[in-house]
Amino acid sequence: MADSLPTEFDVVIIGTGLPESILAAACSRSGQRVLHLDSRSYYGGNWASFSFSGLLSWLKEHQQNGDSAEESTASWQGLVHETEEAIALRKKDETIEHIEVFCYASQDMDDNIEEISALQKNPSSVTSKPLDSVCLSEETNSLHVTSSETPAKDTPKSDEEISLEVTDVEDILAEEKYCGDKTCINTASGGDKDENKPIEEDNTDQPKRNRITYSQIVKEGRRFNIDLVSKLLYSQGLLIDLLIKSNVSRYAEFKNVTRILAFREGKVEQVPCSRADVFNSKELTMVEKRILMKFLTFCLDYEQHPDQYQAFVHCSFSDYLKTKKLTPNLQHFVLHSIAMTESSCTTIDGLKATKNFLRCLGRFGNTPFLFPLYGQGEIPQCFCRMCAVFGGIYCLRHKVQCLIVDKESGRCKAIIDHLDQRINAKYFIVEDSYLSEETCSNVQYKQISRAVLITDQSILKKADSDQQISILIVPPMESGTCAVRVTELCSSTMTCMKDTYLVHLTCSSSKTAREDLESVVKKLFTPYTETEIDKEELTKPRLLWALYFNMRDSSGISRSSYNGLPSNVYVCSGPDCGLGNEHAVKQAETLFQEIFPNEDFCPPPPNPEDIIFDGDDKQPEALGTNNKIMAKPDSSEENKNPESPENHLQD
């Protein structure tokens, strides 16, 4: 199929991250001919989600990336005319570094591992969950938000839906260490020595816990959907509004985040958010409840009372809170669990963040946040699906070798792909990681420290339900460090296997990810191997598996920082460190309006009766810029919704 691609397009987009996917959907919806390419074998780029075995393959890909030699450019140089020049693109992804993996669960080598070896062993076909497996809604302008108390269901997936690579089971289950290209994989347990040791944790003081081995995690690998970037959706945020406006929300389902947690004096406790939560809280005195409600009421319309904060605009938000008669307990809740800001942020920024939190309460649940079922990686795929519906063409595993620039006009005319095919277009959108070192030589990148953990119980056990989705901000442990954001996902989010939790840790990097985050991990969790020795640590969740890595943060970089960028080439950034997706949506809308200033950004889809199916002679009424929309009916088998209790919420 790839060698028969058309050679003329309006827009060529390189990279399938969230901003690029939103732009692809917007361009296709406005009637543009869109070609959307990605050199990777999966959608989403650094926004992707993987099964457990898919994540192991992703780790191996990055290790092999560092060892791969540069390819020759001679093959495509002959396609560049004398009046043109080429801008080479980067041949390998360098946005991920300092990868370290630790396995704490016991290594049960005697377990039946036929299922592992039966997995497909093609390294080029590692994919996140495909587009067709998301849930669809028939209603317009709505979101599917399912109850967080719903137990996880087994979601059937065909062998073709997820391609995994585990090339050598013995290599994975035995102790290993990769030292190439800053990649380390360590087995923390004692291997075979620990296999036959009895587990003594079920005593009278502690509830019995299931013993989860590493081979179980690998066997149930398809139950995991592990995000490379950890984010939530603000219920009144730009992404939710865009999903509803464009009707892309019908391609996905969401769950409410059920709890906001705080870490104070070595303990994890739940933060009251709504008015009912505040007055039902046992953590606050009656006086504290009244003071907190008065302050939160002020924050909702703080702009109307400038006299109460103008004198503190140059002070930190932390100092401002001290002047509002808030107790240390309340100051901690507001700063770290409601505003979710650093202590050093300005008063205005803190008030804005608090107001944003409060105005998002109550739209879809008791907290301001939603989480997409199957992980954040679903969202880019949803927008890619919309682009494809309106005629966009997709090619994964399709490398672009260079951009062709006309010397006289300075505009980009075409790309040359890995098949030496020349493809012409009017506009080109490129994800930052594809740009060469020469183009990015003056760019100063930030870094994000990430950790992904698999644990055996929640960081705050709740008697009535173990299906909780929680977010926790851990304040800086020492001066000069950043607060760490912790998101804990239960199995009903379809991101982990039963009886486990998937925990994401994120902060701005000051060192390697492990150095930035390991102290927080040790405070909240106990490595599995240590629980057999230290009985006092059994109150903490047991850590079964951990991954640390640093990810490039290319947000906030101005266009002028890139060298020699043609006027019709636009750059999208990768994920930023923020909790929401506001930056990606703003960037996509800004670039779209810059390219097509007279077009609507992701307008609502046409009415079904206005769509012409192949073979119909009936002409629709005028639909604006795109008068004729060709579509084919989807098969009923591909679009079945999984049966689960859900709330159908409309905007």
Q: pLDDT tens-digit profile of 127-183?
A: 333 333 333 333 434 566 655 444 444 443 433 333 333 334 344 443 334 433 444
Greater confidence (174 vs 269) lies with: 269
**Percent of the chain with pLDDT strictly greater than 90:** 54
Query: What residue numbers bound the domain in which 28 lies?
Result: 8-65+73-94+374-444+555-595
Report the interhelical angle of 347-359 vs 286-300 (nearest 10°): 100
pLDDT at residue 169, rounded to an integer: 37
By the 8 A CB rule, do 57 and 420 touch?
no
From CA 91, how far away is CA 548, in angstroms rounded?
24
From CA 216, how far away is CA 220, in angstroms rounded?
6
Per-residue pLDDT, averaged over 381-407, amounts to 94
pLDDT in tens, 59-73: 998 887 655 545 555
pLDDT at residue 463, rounded to an integer: 61
pLDDT in tens, 215-253: 999 999 999 999 999 999 999 999 999 999 999 999 999
Greater confidence (373 vs 206) lies with: 373
From CA 383, how far away is CA 437, in angstroms rounded?
30
**Percent of the chain with pLDDT strictly greater than 70:** 73
Dihedral of the alpha carbons of 430, 434, 437, 439, in degrees to the nearest 10: -10
Is 384 inside a domain boundary? yes
Tokens of 334: 């507001």
Quote the DSSP letter at residue 336: I
Residue 522 has pLDDT above 80, yes or no: yes
Is 571 inside a domain boundary? yes
- Report how many domains make up the chain: 1
Greater confidence (640 vs 88) lies with: 88
pLDDT at residue 4, rounded to an integer: 72
Quote the DSSP letter at residue 73: S
pLDDT class for 284, splitting at 50, 70, 90? Answer: confident
Residue 183 CA to chain centroid, in angstroms? Answer: 22
Tokens of 243: 């999903």
pLDDT class for 124, splitting at 50, 70, 90? Answer: very low
Q: Which of 159, 148, 126, 130 is nearest to 54 (CA)?
A: 126
Is 435 inside a domain boundary? yes
Residue 612 has pLDDT above 60, yes or no: yes
Is 303 inside a domain boundary? no
Residues with Cβ within 8 Å of 45's Cβ and at least 6 positions away in sequence, in order, are 15, 16, 17, 20, 38, 380, 431, 433, 574
Q: Which of 472, 469, 254 is nearest to 374 (CA)?
A: 254
Write down how long the chain is.
651
- How high does pLDDT run on average in the chain? 79
Residue 118 has pLDDT above 60, yes or no: no
As a three-state string, the secondary structure of 445-496 is CEEEEEEEEEECCCCCCCCCCCCCCEEEEECCCCCCCCCEEEEEECHHHCCC
Looking at beta carbons, which pairs linking 263-266 to residues 24 or more positions away fall under 8 Å?
263/336, 263/472, 263/473, 263/474, 263/475, 263/523, 263/524, 264/329, 264/332, 266/523
Residue 43 sits in a domain whose CATH number is 3.50.50.60
Is 568 inside a domain boundary? yes
From CA 102, how far away is CA 521, in angstroms rounded?
12
Is 396 inside a domain boundary? yes
From CA 588, how far away is CA 224, in angstroms rounded?
29
Is 399 inside a domain boundary? yes
Is 224 inside a domain boundary? no
From CA 346, how far away is CA 312, in angstroms rounded?
9
pLDDT in tens, 525-555: 998 775 555 554 568 899 999 999 999 999 9
From CA 467, how far away is CA 645, in angstroms rounded?
14
pLDDT in tens, 316-336: 999 999 998 889 888 988 999
